[in-house]
Amino acid sequence: MVGRSHRPPREPCTMRVLAVTSLYPTLAQPHFAAFMPGRMRGLAAHANVDLLLCRQTHPLGYRFRLPTSIVVDPLDQLTIWPAQFIALRGVARSRRARQMLGGARRAVRQMDRSWDVVLGHFLVPDGVCAALLAAELGLPVVLVAHGSDVHTKAADPRCHADLAWALGQAKGLIVVSDDLRRRLADLGFALPPTTVLPCGYDPALFAPRSQTEARARLGFMPGSWLVYVGALRGVKRLDVLLQALALVPDVHLAVVGDGDQAQPLRSLARSLGLDARVHWAGARPHDEVPDFLAAADAVVLSSDREGTPTILTEALAMGRPVVATAVGGIPELVGDLARLAPPGQPQALAQAIAGTLAAPPPSDRLRNAVAHLTLDAVGRAESEFLRACIEE
């Protein structure tokens, strides 16, 4: 389950937001999009938010009322409404936004609410669906780009026309890094007024804590430890991280996460002679992640592509050094506080790891670098941007 944590009191306000997305943890996928509850919680402290959670269901689900996924952690400040839609096999994925729209329409009819703005998280298909729904409701729409929606979906010619239309309808665009804004512009999209707002962190959950005590709770053996937290997918390039680890002696790695690359990565670790140095922790609840970060001598990402990874923001908030590839919004986030390597280069990543372990940056500088990215601060900035878009 997604961990509960500090929730700032909601401010008196009148802005009513209908958020539309398929990005949210459920009982079936409790670790999916773990950053979203915090993002929604931050906004819900400054606005009245209804979250329309679009989830694909079986074609017979309506007729026979089959059980459906339930939101893992319904938040006190946020009302979550399920919007099921049927995605038939053989129907082009470029039609997914209109399939989602059917479920969203049904949910909205049951809600008996009114809103000031529609907020679409993830550009394709969620943002396109949000723009279609907003047009039907006669409301302004603001879209949010997170990463893979730009790197893969926006670059897909089959999605270009729909996304161009949605961006043309949008009163505003939120991106988690300026790199995503540049990529959208380079792909030829005309962008509405845009602001950069990475996902924030919970300062109560990701506060500095004792490394010794965290290692004792996790059962880590003595020595230097790297920690990776995230999905085990091809784009994350854990193969590069394992190859880099083989070049840095006497260092252990904890891998927190799961995914379709789990078995190939375990096989690679064995072939590299790393069995004794890699701890496969599996996917862990969000409220257990701080112990892994506290236990780390460095938190490492070796991705080919990223938006602005929330896990790095959380690590910095705890004063932990980070090592990563120079992709997406990572250089914007870390500035000169971290050693970055080009993607796909184990030797360069190994050198960045060794340099960081030998001379880590001061913890207070790391914490100060992200002090402005608390959930409440990001939520406040997001609500102010939405208000400006409504007034415009």
Give pTM, 2 decimals. 0.90
Residue boundaries of the structural domains of the chain: 16-200+374-391, 211-372
pLDDT band (50, 70, 90) for residue 192: very high
State how far the Cα of 392 lies from the Cα of 379, in Å rounded to an integer. 20
Tell me: the pLDDT tens digits for 117-166? 999 999 999 999 999 999 999 999 999 999 989 998 888 888 999 999 99
User: Is 16-200+374-391's fold the same as 211-372's?
Assistant: yes
Nearest one of 352, 335, 325 to 236, comparing CA atoms? 325
The second-level CATH assignment, the architecture, of 211-372 is: 3-Layer(aba) Sandwich (3.40)
> Which residues, 6 or more positions from 94, have their beta carbon under 8 angstroms from its beta carbon?
156, 158, 159, 162
What φ, ψ does residue 145 adopt, rounded to 5°?
A: -105, 135
pLDDT band (50, 70, 90) for residue 27: confident
37 pLDDT higher than 50:
yes
State how far the Cα of 65 lies from the Cα of 63, in Å rounded to an integer. 6
State how far the Cα of 243 lies from the Cα of 137, in Å rounded to an integer. 52
pLDDT band (50, 70, 90) for residue 2: very low
Q: Give the count of beta carbons closer than 10 Å to the beta carbon of residue 145.
A: 29
Tell me: the pLDDT tens digits for 264-321? 999 999 999 999 999 999 999 999 999 999 999 999 999 999 999 999 999 999 999 9
Q: Give the count of beta carbons closer than 10 Å to the beta carbon of residue 286.
A: 24
Question: Is 332 exposed, middle or buried (CB count within 10 Å of its CB: 0-12, 13-18, 19+)?
Answer: middle
3 state SS of 102: helix
Q: What CATH number does domain 16-200+374-391 carry, 3.40.50.2000, 3.40.50.620, 3.40.50.300, 3.30.750.24? A: 3.40.50.2000
Can you read off the two tokens belonging to residue 364? 């207070």
